[in-house]
Amino acid sequence: MADLAAPGATTISHSPPPLRALRWDDSRDGPALLLLDQTRLPAEEREIVCTGIPTLVELIRSLAVRGAPVLGLAGAYGVALAAARGFSVADAAEQLATARPTAVNLAVGVRRAFGAYRTHLAAKPGDEDGAAAAALAAARAMHREDAEASTAMAAHGLALLDRLVPGGAHRLLTHCNTGALVSGGEGTALAVALAAHRAGRLRRLWVDETRPLLQGARLTAYEAARAGMPYTLLADNAAGSLFAAGEVDAVLVGADRIAADGSTANKVGSYPLAVLARHHGVPFVVVAPSTTVDPHTPAGDAIEVEQRGSHEVAEFAGVAVAPPGATAYNPAFDVTPPELISAIVTEKGPVSPVDVSGMTQLCAMSLSSNETM
Ligand SMILES: CSC[C@@H](O)[C@@H](O)C(=O)COP(=O)(O)O
C-alpha cells in the first residue's frame, strides 16, 4: 500500500509477514516441528528445531510455545512427530497431554492426532507410515480449523462489541497474549482488537503487562506494534485507576478452559479484571474457540490450576528481587465465575455463560468434534 509520508514523497509501507508460532518441517534430516521461541521475544525472532518428545514437553513447560489453541496444535503435531520418527506414540501422547494441566486444548489436540493414528492402524494393522500420515493430517486439519475459527471469532467479537457498547468500544483492555502467537490464525481476544483496528474503531488498546512472565509486555505489545495498533502498556495493578478514570470501554481476554457452567480459567489476573469491570459497568468478554469448552469439567472449582515455581515471582528477568529462599504464591491462572462474564465468543458466535442451553450447545459441539478423533 502506498502512502504519503511528506509532501512530494511517496513511501511503500510493507506489512510484516504473519507470525507463525509453529510449523511442520520436512526439509531436513527427518521431520521436525519448528517453534518460534516465545521466551526470546521481543528481542529476537528465533525458531527452535524440535525433533524429540522430551524436548517438546520441556518447550511447552518453559512457555517457549504457549497459549491454549497453539498448545492444542503443539500436542497434535507432537503426536505426528513421534509417529513419523518411530517413537512410542502412546508414550508421547501421555507425556504431551500432561505437560501442562490447565489448557484443555493441549489434551484435545493430542487425542485428536492419536485417535487418527490408532484408527488408521485398526483399519490397516502394521501400516505405521500410513498411521503417521493420518496423525499429521489430523494436526494439519486442526491447524486450518484454528485459523478459520480465529477469523470467525474476530468477526463475531467485533459485532458483539457494537451491541454491548452502543457508543462504540474504542478503548479495549486485554490481558496476557492472545494473538497470532497462540493460534493457527490471528488469535482469539487480540484478533477481535485487530479487527476493531482494521475497521478504524480502535482508539486505544490497553495492554496489561501480565506479571510475572510478562506475556502482555513482551508478546501482546510486540504483536500490537507489528500491526500498527495504538497501544499502551500498563502495570497490572494500574488497571483499577484506569477503570476509575472511565478509560476502558470493554475487556477482552482469552481462555484456557471453560467449564460446563461457563466458569473460565485464564491467565492469572483475569478474575480481578472481571471484578473491576463489573464494578465499573464495563463488559468483560471471553474469546475462545469451542475446543476450549470442556464439557467434562462441570464447574470452575474442578479446573486444575497450574502452580508454577517461586523463582518466576522472586526474580525479574533472571535477577533476584526478593531475599534468597523467598517463596511465592504463583498460580498461572485464575477462574472467573460465569456471573462476571458478559459473553463468551466462539467461532459459532457469542453466548451468555449463564445461558445453560447455549453452553450445553457449545459443550455438545466440542464433545462431538473430540469424538471424531
Ligand atoms: C487464546 S490464548 C488464551 C490463554 O491461553 C491465554 O490468555 C493464557 O492465559 C496463556 O497462558 P500461558 O501461561 O502464557 O500459556
ipTM: 0.98
Tell me, using a 6 A CB cutoff, whether residue 266 lines ligand 1.
yes
Tell me, using a 6 A CB cutoff, whether residue 74 lines ligand 1.
no
- The residue to mutate among 102, 177, 223, 347, having the most atoms of ligand 1 within 8 angstroms of its beta carbon, is 177
Report whether pLDDT(4) > 50. Answer: no
Q: Which amino acid residue places its CA nearest to atom 10 of ligand 1?
A: 67
Q: What is the C-alpha separation between 251 and 222, in angstroms, rounded?
A: 19
Known active-site residue 256: yes
Report whether pLDDT(372) > 50. Answer: no
Give the residue from 18, 156, 149 showing the smallest Cα distance to 72.
149
Supply the mean pLDDT for the chain.
92
Average pLDDT over residues 27-51: 96
Report whether pLDDT(17) > 50. Answer: yes
Distance 266 CA to ligand 1 centre (A): 6
DSSP secondary structure letter of residue 98: T
Following DSSP, what letter does each residue of 331-353 receive, concatenated? BSEEEE-GGG-SEEEETTEEE-T
Length of the chain: 373
In order of 114, 125, 357, 366, the CA distances from 371 in angstroms are 12, 22, 21, 9
- Output 365 or 371, whichever has higher pLDDT: 365
Tell me, using a 6 A CB cutoff, whether residue 182 lines ligand 1.
yes
- The residue to mutate among 37, 173, 267, 293, having the most atoms of ligand 1 within 8 angstroms of its beta carbon, is 267
In order of 53, 153, 154, 184, the CA distances from 148 in angstroms are 28, 9, 10, 8
Cβ 236 vs Cβ 203: under 8 Å: no
pLDDT of residue 359: 55
Burial of 278 (0-12, 13-18, 19+ CB in 10 A): middle
Position in ligand 1 atom list of the atom nearest CA 176 = 7
Helix (H, G, I), strand (E, B), or coil: what is residue 68?
A: helix
CA angle 260, 264, 270 (to 5 degrees): 170
Report whether pLDDT(125) > 50. Answer: yes
pLDDT tens digits, one per residue of 198-252: 999 999 999 999 999 999 999 999 999 999 999 999 999 999 999 999 999 999 9
The number of helices, as runs of H, and strands, as runs of E, in the chain is 11, 18
Position in ligand 1 atom list of the atom nearest CA 68 = 5
Tell me, using a 6 A CB cutoff, whether residue 188 lines ligand 1.
yes
Following DSSP, what letter does each residue of 153-185 receive, concatenated? HHHHHHHHHHHH-TT---EEEE-S--SGGGSSS
Residue 322 banded pLDDT, cuts 50, 70, 90: very high
Helix (H, G, I), strand (E, B), or coil: what is residue 83?
A: helix
Tell me, using a 6 A CB cutoff, whether residue 252 lines ligand 1.
no
pLDDT tens digits, one per residue of 268-306: 999 999 999 999 999 999 999 999 999 999 999 999 999
Q: Which amino acid residue places its CA nearest to atom 6 of ligand 1?
A: 67
Residue 28 banded pLDDT, cuts 50, 70, 90: confident
Q: CB neighbours of 270 closer than 8 A, spacing ≥ 6?
A: 175, 176, 253, 264, 333, 334, 336
Four-residue CA torsion sign, 84, 90, 96, 102: positive
Tell me, using a 6 A CB cutoff, whether residue 300 lines ligand 1.
no
Give the residue from 75, 84, 93 showing the smallest Cα distance to 130.
84
Position in ligand 1 atom list of the atom nearest CA 189 = 1
Position in ligand 1 atom list of the atom nearest CA 215 = 14
